[in-house]
Amino acid sequence: MTRPAPRRHPPGTKTRRAGSSGTQPPPPARDKRRIATAVLLLLLAVGLVVVALTRALGSDGDSESRTGGGADPGIAHVHGLGVDPGDKTLYAATHFGVFRIPAQGAPTRIADRFQDTMGFTVVGPRHFLGSGHPDPLEGKPPNLGLIESTDAGETWRDRSLSGQADFHSLQAAHGQVFGYNSTSGTLMVSSDKVTWDKRAALPMADFAVSPAGPEVLIATTENGPAKSADGGRTFAIIDGAPPLLFVSWPEPGALYGITPSGAVVLSPDQGKTWQQQGSLDGRPAALTATDATTVYAATDTGIYESTNAGKTFTPRYHIKR
């Protein structure tokens, strides 16, 4: 069986403030141009990856890769990172499965599954949530909706919206699951992982929920970071904030972001002010912080770890380009 080429669903490229009253001043035009340029570069890069992988796999490469006869694409684009709080294992969700990333040695694909896992988030010990698209050999709907694993990715079960939703960003916080459904461009919230409340319709690349409470969220949009103070029902652009692609908020006074150019920034005050910490080579692909000083990031060059609040990073895995 020939495996279809991997799909990449980049963030929307036309973003406006949604569902909010009043007027917010737009960010400087140069910031908007930087975000738009970054999105175009992401599209181009993904297209090149698809072509390269298709050629490398060949017509029968996908089925052969399961038996060892063909080229395994390995880590071909990181959608998300997460750390198990029980054993501190680092996981990377990619186009072709979820991988364990050891401190030393080669990554390990979990359960020999080639599931295109998006919205990946670690909820607790061996407990993951995700979305995306199935391994083509599994015969599932093209959009997985919300899926859940309680055995560190060895098996997954459908929870809701199978065939309907593709969550590009998910976060479990304050007894709820927040998700950005890329098929509708809508932020959604569930308290039982089954029924969902639709919030703002706002194209975004990523979002983070404040660890202090469920009402405050920060989303990354083409017009710059946007803040919600009502649980994601409305958002307003944060004036003067740097352009960001991904955000992570592990502690109330530590909101991390990464810019299209790879600069890692930190806000101690819910996005009002930002401090540049360090920078990474390559195009950003994912960001997660587990506490105020430990940060993990992925770019198209590799997966990196920082233990000094993003000032410097140590490579955990180099991605072959």
- Provide the residue type at 1 as one letter: M
Domains 27-56+203-321 and 90-101+109-201 share a fold: no
In Å, how far from its chain's centre is CA 308? 22
Read off the pTM.
0.81
Phi first, then psi: what are they for 73, rounded to 5°?
Answer: -70, -20
If 0-12 CB within 10 Å is exposed, 13-18 middle and 19+ buried, where does residue 100 land?
A: middle
Residue 61, SS3 per DSSP: helix
CA-to-CA distance for 146 and 190, rounded, in angstroms?
Answer: 11
Spans of all domains in the chain: 27-56+203-321, 90-101+109-201
80 in Cβ contact with 73 (< 8 Å): no
Alpha-carbon distances of 222 from 37, 206, 299, rounded to whole Å? 10, 11, 19
Residue of 123, 224, 222 whose CA lies nearest to 170: 123
Helix then strand count (H, E) for the chain reads 2, 24
Residue 254's CB is within 10 A of a number of other CB atoms, namely: 19
Say which CATH topology domain 90-101+109-201 has: Thrombin, subunit H (2.40.10)
For residue 211, give every residue at least 6 positions away whose Cβ sits within 8 Å of its Cβ, in sequence order, or none: 173, 249, 250, 251, 252
Calculate the dihedral angle through the C-alpha atoms of 274, 311, 40, 142, rounding to the nearest 10 degrees: -100
CATH number for region 27-56+203-321:
2.130.10.10
CA-to-CA distance for 48 and 54, rounded, in angstroms?
Answer: 10
Residue of 272, 279, 236 whose CA lies nearest to 258: 279
Calculate the dihedral angle through the C-alpha atoms of 61, 62, 68, 73, rounding to the nearest 10 degrees: 90
pLDDT value, residue 320: 77
For residue 19, give every residue at least 6 positions away whose Cβ sits within 8 Å of its Cβ, in sequence order, or none: 200, 201, 202, 233, 234, 235
> Which secondary-structure segment (H or E) carries 223?
none
For residue 124, give every residue at least 6 positions away whose Cβ sits within 8 Å of its Cβ, in sequence order, or none: 85, 86
For residue 3, give every residue at least 6 positions away whose Cβ sits within 8 Å of its Cβ, in sequence order, or none: 57, 61, 62, 63, 114, 136, 137
CA-to-CA distance for 309 and 247, rounded, in angstroms?
Answer: 14
Ordered per-residue pLDDT tens for the chain, 321 residues: 444 444 444 443 333 333 333 333 444 455 555 554 454 444 334 333 333 333 333 333 343 344 344 678 889 899 999 999 999 999 999 999 999 999 988 999 999 999 999 999 999 999 999 999 999 889 899 999 999 999 999 999 999 999 999 999 999 999 999 999 999 999 999 999 999 999 999 999 999 999 999 999 999 999 999 999 999 999 999 999 999 999 999 999 999 999 999 999 999 999 999 999 999 999 999 999 999 999 999 999 999 999 999 999 999 999 876
CA-to-CA distance for 203 and 55, rounded, in angstroms?
Answer: 33
> Which secondary-structure segment (H or E) carries 246?
strand 246-251
| DSSP 8-state symbol, 28 | P
Alpha-carbon distances of 193 from 150, 180, 211, rounded to whole Å? 14, 14, 20
CA-to-CA distance for 87 and 67, rounded, in angstroms?
Answer: 30
